[in-house]
Amino acid sequence: MLSLWSANSHIPSFPTLPKDIKTDVLIIGGGMAGVLCAYELKNRGIDCVLVEADRICSGITKNTTAKITSQHGFIYDKITKKFDTENAHKYLRANENAVKKYREICKNADCDFEDKDNIVYCVDNCKKVEKELMALEKIGYKTQIEYKLPVPIGIAGAIRFKNQAQFNPLKFVSHIVKDLNIYENTKVMEIRDNVAITNRGNIKAENFIVATHFPFMNKYGGYFVKMYQHRSYVIAIDRACDIDGMYVDEAKTGMSFRNAENLLLIGGGDHRTGKQGGSYNELRRFIKTHYPDNKEVYHWATQDCMTLDGLPYIGEYSKNTPNIYVATGFNKWGMTASMAAADILSDLLSGKKNDYAELFSPQRSVLTLQLPINVGESVLGLVSPSTKRCPHLGCALKWNSVERTWDCPCHGSRFTEKGEIIDNPATDDLK
């Protein structure tokens, strides 16, 4: 089913690549991150081209819940413990700057932009809330613990970030792409000697940005062990009350709530791609119990790249590819992270120092508890017997009976029942 955004938006179409071309920067991937990189680079006077294998925003962007916020779960306590208070403050500033930039652009865009508070809650552990509050106090962010929500969820506590926002992402993209140099239905097969080989021709560039959700080049960067993918689901119901804010559980498998027009969007049912989870059934049971008189109007699903430490990878693709950059691993916060990525990468490509580049560098340490879990899932996927194998790295695919797709539990590639590719990192259909 179409998302609310897809059903109520129209994005302009662009031609395919007509011939071999040259550019200063080639952006590969036409989701929110790629589009914002093109928008920012153009505004800085840098010649750039964006190519998309399908239509722009036809992948993950169209299925977001479209929250713009610097509050990404209880992330600040985690960053303080893994790094330090200074880096937690940098993470806050990078994302607050992204919120501010959206607000500035949206002044002239008809994209249903609304200022809203964001509230992250915890259902069972008040100590988690207290630790997050302490971390926020250390970096100078003033807030307090709350104990009640305007949604039917019992909580141990919650923390509010004021002056955040929500919008319609596809209407926003329609506003900013008008003057960008974009080619659709142009698939990059590989990058070789400063040339991107596509199914339509070759593009020579000085620098490249890979913004393909999950990076498509396996031999560099090790992203196939540094990330996994997580699916989540959304149901929009009608005649909903105004909850006046965006509400998100700090747990990966918790629920989220926000209004859009006269609808209430309820998210949840999360699980690692290729594994079993609550999916739509969990949400429908919740709605039947708490909103029995409301009708389901839309439902859709999405998936997110999850990193080892909860921070995105933004910067050089690898040490061995100094002119190739990447923006990935947004950990369910792709709207804000996409804007932060556009700022960081545009600075790097302009030769300008960026205060946040080191924190988000893809070359930071991989020594976390998540690493052996990712490796173990990959080994299990490789040795599991199955007639359906993912063309990415050969893992056994699992049948998703809810969405009727073949899903890869190793790295998150998905395919239709007939074997047509839906989500990367795989780049080809099933044989």
Looking at residue 127, its pLDDT comes to 96
- The Cα–Cα gap between 95 and 76 comes to 12
Interstrand relation of 202-210 and 21-28 (parallel, antiparallel or unpaired):
parallel
Contact 368, 308 (CB under 8 A): yes
Cα–Cα distance, 86 to 83 (Å, whole number): 8
Kindly report the backbone phi and psi dihedral angles of residue 310, in degrees, each rounded to the nearest multiple of 5, phi listed first: 85, 0
Residues 304 and 60 sit within 8 Å (Cβ to Cβ): yes
For 80, the token pair is: 């303080």
Q: How far, in Å, are 210, 315, 317, 375 from residue 321 at the CA level? A: 12, 11, 6, 24
Residue 408 to residue 387: CA distance in whole angstroms: 13
As a residue count, the chain comes to 431
Give the number of C-alpha atoms closer than 13 A to the C-alpha of residue 6, restricted to the C-beta side: 17
Dihedral of CA atoms 58, 230, 342, 221 in degrees, nearest 10, equals -110
What's the pLDDT at 253?
A: 87
- State which amino acid sits at residue 116: K
Q: What is the pLDDT of residue 417?
A: 92
- Give 305-330 pLDDT, tens digit per residue: 999 999 999 999 999 999 999 999 99
Residue 281: the pLDDT is 95
User: Is 119 in contact with 248 (CB distance < 8 Å)?
Assistant: yes
pLDDT at 387: 82
Is the pTM higher than 0.85? The answer reads: yes
Contact status, residue 423 vs residue 407, Cβ threshold 8 Å = no
- What is the largest distance, in Å, between two alpha-carbon atoms of the chain? 60
CB 9 within 8 A of CB 170: yes
Residues 6 or more apart whose CB falls under 8 angstroms from that of 125 comprise 156
| Segments of the chain scoring below 50 in pLDDT | none
pLDDT for res 411: 92
Check residue 382 and give its pLDDT.
87
User: What Cα–Cα distance (Å) separates residue 305 from each residue in 36, 214, 329?
Assistant: 19, 7, 5
Tokens of 349: 């490509």
370-423 maps to which CATH number? 2.102.10.10
CB 269 within 8 A of CB 278: yes
Structure tokens that stand for 194 in this block = 């400063």
